[in-house]
Amino acid sequence: MQSNNNYSYIDGLNQYTYSNGVLKNLANIQEERALLLYESLKVSKRIEELFEQPIKITNSSSLLEIHLYLFQDVYEWAGKVRTVNISKNGKPFFDDERFPMGFRYIDLLIEEFEKIPTTKTNVISQKLAEILDNLNFLHPFREGNGRAQREFIRALAYQKGYSLNLNPPNNKDIYDRYMKGTIDSDVDILTKLIENQLIEISI
């Protein structure tokens, strides 16, 4: 039986990987476990920095800016859309040739989000869930989609005056609900999760 992490990539030219399948990286690490540890340490530090000073979301291009910031220490292609196609458990993500259309739709969702009054937490949550679901289907990067999209959604919530953490330390239940909602493309699950996690802040 396939696991939820069973990705497949159409990359016959090995654009992104060494011959052994490990992702090409700036540190030239060619052992998978060592790369995972290195990536985790570098990206965790960048995530902490963005918690202190979020990138302002203006449109869908801000997602590329976030990915570049998070993965700048690890991959040459940080902040660049993938040029290979991805599927997970046999279900394909967005075709890379259609990215311009997909990003334009995200822009429309962001415009709708910006018009929502800050007091309407239920509407904010629903629109954030819709944006998250579409970002996950878009899956525009070869690696790091989840971390980039969670930071994107967190930054949008912050701009409305709320904190939002969909992967808090020592709370596997929240992350599991996030994963189920994104894997199953269940906007209702994501809406309820986000609404439960929104905390009003002063900015």
pLDDT of residue 44: 96
CATH number at residue 185: 1.10.3290.10
pLDDT of residue 203: 57
| In the predicted structure, residue 6 carries a pLDDT above the cut 90 | no
In a domain, 57, yes or no: yes
Model's pTM, two decimal places?
Answer: 0.92
pLDDT per position as a tens digit, 72-129: 999 999 999 999 888 877 788 888 889 999 999 999 999 999 999 999 999 999 999 9
In a domain, 174, yes or no: yes
Domain that holds residue 190: 43-84+94-200
Helix (H) or strand (E) holding 92: strand 91-92
DSSP secondary structure string, 43-77?
HHHHHHHHHHSPPPP-STHHHHHHHHHHHTTT-TT
In a domain, 8, yes or no: no
In a domain, 20, yes or no: no
Count of positions (residues) in the chain: 203
In a domain, 21, yes or no: no
In a domain, 70, yes or no: yes
| In the predicted structure, residue 13 carries a pLDDT above the cut 60 | yes
pLDDT of residue 63: 98
The domain tally of the chain equals 1
In a domain, 139, yes or no: yes
In a domain, 77, yes or no: yes
Q: Report which of residues 87 and 176 the model is more confident about.
A: 176
User: Which pLDDT band, with edges at 50, 70 and 90, does 2 fall under?
Assistant: very low
pLDDT of residue 159: 97
| In the predicted structure, residue 158 carries a pLDDT above the cut 60 | yes
> What is the mean pLDDT of the segment spanning 3-22?
75
